[in-house]
Amino acid sequence: MSKPLVHPPVALRAAWLAGLIGIYGDAIRLMERVHGPIADLLIRFVLAQAFFVSGILKLTDWQTALNLARYEYPVSWMDPVTAAHIGVAIEVLCPILLLAGLATRLAALLMLILSLVIQFNYQVLDINLFWAVLAGWYVVRGAGPLSLDRLLARGLSDSALPLAAYGVRAANWVTAHVKPGYQLFLRVWIASGLAAAAWMLIGNIGGTDAASLKLWLPLYALAPLTGGLGLCAGALLLAGLATRFAALGLIVMVLGVATLDSVQMANAHWLVMVLAPITLYGAGPYSLDAAIERWLRRVFPQLEGKPAFSLEGLPRVVIVGAGFGGVACAKALRRARVAVTLVDRHNYHLFQPLLYQVATASLAPGDIAMSTRSLFREQFNTRVLLGEVISVDTARQEIVIGEDAKTHLPYDYLVLATGARHSYFGHQEWEPFAPGLKQVEDATEVRRRVLLAFERAEGADDPQEREALLTFLVVGGGPTGVELAGAIAELARLGMEKDFRRFDPAQARVVLVQSAPRILPTFAEHLSARAEESLRRLGVQVLTSSRVEHIDAEGVMVNGRRILARTVLWAAGVVASPAARWVNAEADIAGRVKVNADLSVPGLPNVFAIGDTALAHAWNGRPVPGLAPAAKQAGQYVGRAIEARIIGRQMAPFRYKHLGSMATIGRKAAVAEFSWVRVSGPLAWWLWGLVHVYFLAGMRNRISVTFDWIWAYLTLRSGTRLITGGSHQEHGGAMATAITEYPARVQHG
């Protein structure tokens, strides 16, 4: 086992400083990559709206538009009628291009010119300057990632379109060489405006000097910010020191003034939008911040994603399993002086709580899964290895990967986060007839069976056969079973009403079988009752205190009664992976490793087990539940514990903090339990949706799932209902195939 690498106090100080710098770098990257694109899209929308509304008003009253061009802001070198046509064209067409992010720089340039023409030839207003400055930002930077320009840039640069490649290279050159100067201009412009506004207020300056200043600077909008704090912020902006914090402080001041003075409200949001690029992207290279950052990047290379240290000779941490616990553990080690290897038999990280929505065709598999490699793209001390672990040699401290046992991966610290699989309580012969829901393959197989049942019911001539095909039985009344039963009931009753001719999909019968006296037994009793009531309203038949005695191709035997159901789904129980056998550790009846207080395996202090793999009595003396938040907490703890051991620091025992439990039932009902707060109905449904979107990995997945949910909710249409997998005979000749042959084909398909 590895010894501490350096003297503990020195290591602690170095780790603390590196951690602080790393957090700063993470926060900056988060702002630029997550908040930046959203802010960019909002600014484009507001700016485009202002111009577009003006253009539409002029189109509806063309005579007024001509009079404005002729008398109010004439252009000396252009005919008024031509000027009116060009002005309206810019106000109508350019905002559309700006909002779409198509030819953004050209559209913004024309809007910039028009804003300056209005400011210098018509009426001097702060809003004209704000328009010009924001348009100028898009001229030098272009639209953000949420734009057609960014989407098409790579293809255009390598296309046969005339001058396309030159245009892309020119745009990149402007961004690289002109944008830094524009960032300096923004800071100087705002700082100068604050200083000039304060000078006018203190010196009571007026007349020609004031008029000249108002032509170039937004003095009216900045005047309320000329107190001591505002001037200090302006000085920091001018120097480019703590620039993001100074700009953010000004934004807070602007919003505070706007809430107290309704007259300032009109300019407030424009000033906030001008300050937003400085807050998000910093001061630019011509600043003290940039000089400090260059020094920090030399001292802490991890700020720009470069290796902060050599991995040669460092402790080797091997994490088996890329679920919630394994990923959280690897993330917790991102700044530790260790070499991490994350091993999983799949190349993706899966958000299991939403698998049932894939199984019922509400979401696509890609919506709830993300490439594991992409999660660790910028974590230089972590590599991802695709492979299936078959054994662990604790004596030699290595894991064996692959059936051929050719790959031996050594470790100094081993983390087992291998999850769980379905448990049929000693009746493995039921598995072909009642698939569970743990992997993407399980979800697509369940979706195939559910959708295929409807297709076969359309071709069935026997009413009893059709009734059996349209009977869906879910075994298990926990959150997965409840959500799955509700989703199948909604799938049958909403969105499929015109898809079939020989039967009404709403005739489908959904049965939920629970062996306990009530569903959701871990929830408060009144929440279980409300969940059951919601299921019954959806048409789900709930059978509590009911024991499954047999499952075959024809149906299920429940409490001595035969239920004919061609589609049976299993959500009743799980059993841990064989990790306990790998390390020869004591396990409970479900196969979970009985771990110490620090989640290490007894007798193996450098081997840890977390998530569904471990049995830890860390919930006020009770076993930690097999939930995603529990696995994440355990993974984070073990990551910190490994780092602490390396630098010679002690860690307190693991303590699980229960964040709550949630389950959804259909379109508008859910139950949620957070400590003493217990809610149900629409409020719980909204909370459930927000929490699940938040915990999804990757912004793309969050946006995709949110859009799919909104679309399905408003249109009563689920996702694309594709039947994939299985044999050709099953698809092409399903109507002529005996239903009793179905399970045999599943085993081989």
Q: Which residues are catalytic?
A: 483
CA distance 745 to 749: 6
- The count of C-alpha atoms lying within 13 angstroms of the C-alpha of 629, restricted to the half-sphere facing its C-beta, is 14
The set of residues, in sequence order, having a beta carbon less than 8 Å from that of 333 and lying 6+ positions away, is 317, 340, 381, 382, 639, 642, 643
The owner of tokens 């091993």 is 343
DSSP notation for 117-157: HHHHHT---HHHHHHHHHHHHHHHH---SSSHHHHHHHHHH
Residue type, 709: W
Using the 8-state DSSP alphabet, how is residue 505 labeled?
G
E-state strands within 372-442: 382-386, 389-393, 398-401, 407-410, 413-416, 420-422
- The count of C-alpha atoms lying within 13 angstroms of the C-alpha of 708, restricted to the half-sphere facing its C-beta, is 22
Cα of 513 vs its chain's centroid, Å? 34
Q: Which of 601, 602, 608, 607 has its CA nearest to residue 635?
A: 608
List, in sequence order, the alpha helices (H) in 300-332. 324-332
Dihedral-angle region of residue 240 (phi above 0 means left; psi in -120 to 50 means alpha; beta otherwise): left
Residue 126 contacts residue 169 (beta carbons within 8 Å): no
Residue 592 contacts residue 615 (beta carbons within 8 Å): yes
Residue 525 contacts residue 497 (beta carbons within 8 Å): no
CA distance 58 to 65: 5
580 in helix, strand or coil?
helix
Q: In what order do the strands lie in the sheet with 382-386?
A: 382-386, 339-344, 316-320, 413-416, 604-609, 600-601
The set of residues, in sequence order, having a beta carbon less than 8 Å from that of 24 and lying 6+ positions away, is 303
- CA–CA distances in Å: residue 331 to residues 316, 342, 602: 15, 11, 25
E-state strands within 194-306: none
State both tokens at 90. 């810019």
CA distance 245 to 237: 9
- The count of C-alpha atoms lying within 13 angstroms of the C-alpha of 272, restricted to the half-sphere facing its C-beta, is 18
The owner of tokens 């020191």 is 241
Measure the N-to-C terminal CA separation of the chain; round to a whole number of Å.
46
CA distance 74 to 86: 13
CA distance 135 to 280: 17
Long-range residue pairs from 715-718, CB within 8 A, at least 24 positions apart, any chain: 716/494, 716/495, 717/495, 718/360, 718/361, 718/362, 718/491, 718/495
Longest CA span, the chain: 98
Residue type, 698: G
Q: What angle do CA 454, 455, 461 make, to 5 degrees?
A: 95
State both tokens at 599. 């989640």
